[in-house]
């Protein structure tokens, strides 16, 4: 849960530090500008708040790794929900308003996570998880989106090293195989999730794992 807080705090700080013109730059999410990604983070924070106040006594059906549904087709930007996010982001008009809303809702989500019992079971998307597993799953969410945020920005703060390492470990569990040890955590996450294609040399080094990629998480 501490890693959830650190990764989320780092991501929100990165957004808060953006210049207004950065919001009109492309993000690492296909079809989304930085402002669209920031709006998605507001929605993510709302989801965290909703889930943490949706307790259940049912037995867990997923953990931090199996929380993720894995597909093989990267998003094209044409999904109706993705398109809705773009329209919502445009409605803010001024970056300062989007920054304010993310700070407001995001801070609340962070406080709720700190106060939550890690053993409590919660329900989300027809799944039951412990709070600890749910928040651990979101370390991967925050870290990937932090990489998306800075994909086309110069000098922006990177995700915490421990968040990158934990996210890599989770992705390797999801893949059922380790990535080449010489690869950086960022390269593993970007290539593994289809945020960039592997080079010819990287594909050779991946071996049989190359056939499983990309791991599109949803």
34-52 vs 2-16: helix axis angle to the nearest 10?
A: 150
Predicted pLDDT at 83: 87
Longest dimension (CA), the chain: 49
Predicted pLDDT at 184: 99
Predicted pLDDT at 157: 93
pLDDT of 201 > 90? The answer is: yes
**How do residues 8-59 score in pLDDT, each as one tens digit?**
999 999 999 999 999 999 999 999 999 999 999 999 999 999 999 999 999 9
Pick the CATH number of 2-217 from 1.10.10.10, 2.60.34.10, 1.20.120.450, 3.40.50.300: 1.20.120.450
For residues 118 and 146, what is the distance between their CA atoms, to the nearest angstrom? 24
pLDDT of 142 > 80? The answer is: yes
Predicted pLDDT at 38: 99
Single pTM value for the model = 0.96
pLDDT of 75 > 80? The answer is: no
pLDDT category, 162, cuts 50, 70, 90?
very high
In the chain, where the domains are located? 2-217
DSSP letter string, the chain? -HHHHHHHHHHHHHHHT--GGGGGSB-SSTT-BHHHHHHHHHHHHHHHHHHHT-B--SPP---TTTTS-EESS---S-SHHHHHHHHHHHHH-SHHHHHHHHHHHHHHHHHHHHHS-TT-EEEETTEEEEHHHHHHHHHHHHHHHHHHHHTT-SSPPPPPHHHHHHHHHHHHHHHTSPPPTTS-HHHHHHHHTTSSPPPHHHHHHHGGGGGG---EE-
Predicted pLDDT at 77: 67
pLDDT category, 1, cuts 50, 70, 90?
confident
Predicted pLDDT at 78: 74
Contacts (Cβ under 8 Å, ≥6 apart) of 38: 15, 23, 89, 98, 99, 102, 149
Predicted pLDDT at 126: 95
pLDDT of 129 > 70? The answer is: yes
Query: How much is the average pLDDT of 55-83?
Result: 89
Query: How much is the average pLDDT of 155-180?
Result: 98
Predicted pLDDT at 122: 99
């Amino acid at each position: 849960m501490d890693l959830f807080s650190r990764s989320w705090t780092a991501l929100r700080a990165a957004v808060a530090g953006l210049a207004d013109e950065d919001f009109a730059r492309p993000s690492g999410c296909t079809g989304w500008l930085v402002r669209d990604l920031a709006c998605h983070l507001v929605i993510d924070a709302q989801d965290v708040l909703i889930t943490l106040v949706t307790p259940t006594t049912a037995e867990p059906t997923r953990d931090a790794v199996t929380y993720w549904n894995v597909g093989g087709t990267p998003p094209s930007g044409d999904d109706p929900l993705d398109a809705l996010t773009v329209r919502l982001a445009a409605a803010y008009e001024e970056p300062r308003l989007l920054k304010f809303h993310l700070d407001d809702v995001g801070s609340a989500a962070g406080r709720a996570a700190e106060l939550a019992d890690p053993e409590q079971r919660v329900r989300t998307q027809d799944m039951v998880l412990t709070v600890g597993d749910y928040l651990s799953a979101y370390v991967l969410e925050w870290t990937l989106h932090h990489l998306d945020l800075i994909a086309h920005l110069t000098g922006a703060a990177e995700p915490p090293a421990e968040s990158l390492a934990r996210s890599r470990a989770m992705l390797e569990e999801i893949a059922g195989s380790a990535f080449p040890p010489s690869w950086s955590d960022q390269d593993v996450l970007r290539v593994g999730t289809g945020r960039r294609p592997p080079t010819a040399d990287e594909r050779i080094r991946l071996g049989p794992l190359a056939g499983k990629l990309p791991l599109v998480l949803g």
